[in-house]
Amino acid sequence: MTESQQNDGRLYPAHPTVAVSAIIFKEERVLMIKRSKEPNKGKWSIPGGGIELGETLDQAVKREVREECSIEIEVERVFYTTENIIRDDDGRVKYHYVLVDMLAKYAGGETKAQSDAEECRWVTAEELSELDITPRLRAVLERALI
């Protein structure tokens, strides 16, 4: 464990981290990112991250999308709320997130991977089946695409 991992509070946390993410639509496609950091490094996900002190849900998700994908979005509404608890081999809580998934529309900018995103890609519902994503996210996206 690096010093930055110890100090950011997400790895082996004292309390859950509240995070937001965006299911962003542009025409018939949804924006996916390939994660460059743990948890789930190398898996495909939707853009998002932790809420900073004093931010609203809308402000946080707009900032995270801008930081990870360089685009602007129009937030529509809260879509789904869940939690993700990842334990280590000894059963200790390694990560604990309360996740608020928001529905949003693309509002402008050129999609470019930055920050926690190794790659950004607009995909169709059919192309989602080819991506390595977590079962939780797959279930959420299936609900959003109905």
Active site residues: 119
Rounded to an integer, what is the distance from CA 69 to the centroid of its chain?
11
Place of tokens 């995909």: 123
Q: Collapsing DSSP states into helix, strand and coil, what is residue 85?
A: strand
CB atoms within 10 A of CB 103: 17
For Cα atoms 85, 128, 61, give the angle at the middle one, nearest 5 degrees: 55
Tally Cβ neighbours within 10 Å of residue 46: 23
